[in-house]
Each structure stands twice: as C-alpha cells, then as structure tokens.
Amino acid sequence: MNLTEMAQREGLPDSVTVEREDTEAGFLIRAVQGERGAEVLITPSACKMYGEGPASMWRWTASGSC
C-alpha cells in the first residue's frame, strides 16, 4: 500500500505526510501537517467487520490492509 499516493488521490495537500505503523493493537495510520495531525487505529476486529476497501473517506487508510 502506498499511503502517499492514496492520500494525494483523496485530495490531501502535498504538505501532509502519511505513514503506517504496525502495533500490537492493529495498525496505526498517521497523517501530519506541521505540528498538527491525526491518527486512526485500525484493529483486527475492524478489518474482519468491514473487510478491505470500505467505500468512504476511510478508503485510503484501510484499502488492501486487512
């Protein structure tokens, strides 16, 4: 999964960096712009419940990751 390409496709500014971190609780998607940012934790149970590629703004965070 190329998070940078997915973020650009979803319309995030070029100044936003997006990275993925695997954790014991699932995987963490982090988007940062300067000193501001957001994190989303995708748990294994969420992957089972929603599957790959939910059709919403979360598409770029979870597509192909479960």
pLDDT digits (tens, 9 = 90+) for 18-35: 888 999 999 888 999 999
Structure tokens given for 7? 């973020």
Beta bridge partners of 41: 28
The mean pLDDT of 2-20, rounded to a whole number, is 83
How many alpha carbons fall within 13 Å on the CB side of residue 24? Answer: 0
Q: What is the mean pLDDT of residues 8-27?
A: 88
pLDDT for 60: 44
pLDDT at 61 over 50: no
Q: Dihedral angle at the C-alpha atoms of 31, 33, 36, 39, nearest 10 degrees? A: 0
By the 8 A CB rule, do 47 and 66 touch? yes
What is the per-residue pLDDT across 40-60, written as a single tens digit (0 to 9) for each? 898 889 888 876 654 444 444
Structural tokens at position 58: 């979360």
